[in-house]
Structure 1
Amino acid sequence: MASPDKQQKRAQRAKTKAKQNRMGKPKANVIHPVLANPLINEPFDDVDIDLSTFDFNDIEENGFDPAHFDDLFQAMKMAEGISLLAMCLVFLQYPVLELVVAEEAEEAATDFMMGLLIVYRGMFHDEDEDAAVGWIGSDAFQHAYNEASLILQQKNARSSARSEYNR
């Protein structure tokens, strides 16, 4: 039989291990802590968006109906309550936006993104277009947007690497 001292050390290790298992182990290789929040990481996984019916030419010619982007705007508002970085991460993960950026000319995609951000600021911050454009051009927004873009690039690179590894 082990000495009382050894038994006590074993019991302490078992207690510590049980506590770690109850609390969950910290995730290794987390790109950024804000992505630990499921409302920020893949926020549109449970939203049914039919990209086959999306018509960018119609939006370019006639503008867009903000009601069609309510899921985006609501997710952005929730994320903005966490941080500006979280809001930018949600914005950049919107499937329609990803489609536009991938398939349209850079200038048209930028105009579309600006339009969405301007409408968002008008809806939730009661700002006119000039104030919204000023916010988009601010150092705080630009820094958060660029950081969000880099985080998503790293995340996508890791996802691609995992996909290649699992083949």
Structure 2
Amino acid sequence: MPTPSGPANGPELETVHLLRAASVELALHSARFAQLNGLHPTDVRALIALMDARRAGEETTAGRLGAALGLNSAGTTALVDRLERAGLVRRVRGEGDRRRVVIEAEERAVALGWDYFGPLIERSAELLRGYDEGQRAAIQGFLAGVRDAAAAERE
């Protein structure tokens, strides 16, 4: 089997392979959470997107959520309806514009996620505490760059 040539064949490849392996493990962890809680993997991605928006102080409309997940309008409505029936999200009026309907994660969803993902989050944070500020900045820069590169491939 031919091997790639160019920069991808250098020492950086080991880090790229480790990132890929970590991504696979995180996806499997997320899939186990979905299975244990009777959720679809897209439901989990939606809850993560809603919690990320909440942490950033942003409101999420159904349209914005659908765009983030790559869903059409009908798929987004079905997703939100399903999560609402499960008691994991709610539709509320926007704070800045009361005409807008925004989707918010219920506290139950936050608690459910923290119970399952909390130990992994804590362990990851503990690992990062072992690095100095410059190293953490480099790690964040690398991960943000990979995220941006993957998002660009999606478009």
Work out which structure has the larger RCO, using CA pairs closer than 8 Å and 6 or more positions apart in sequence: 1
TM-score by length of 2: 0.34
Higher strand share: 2
TM-score by length of 1: 0.32
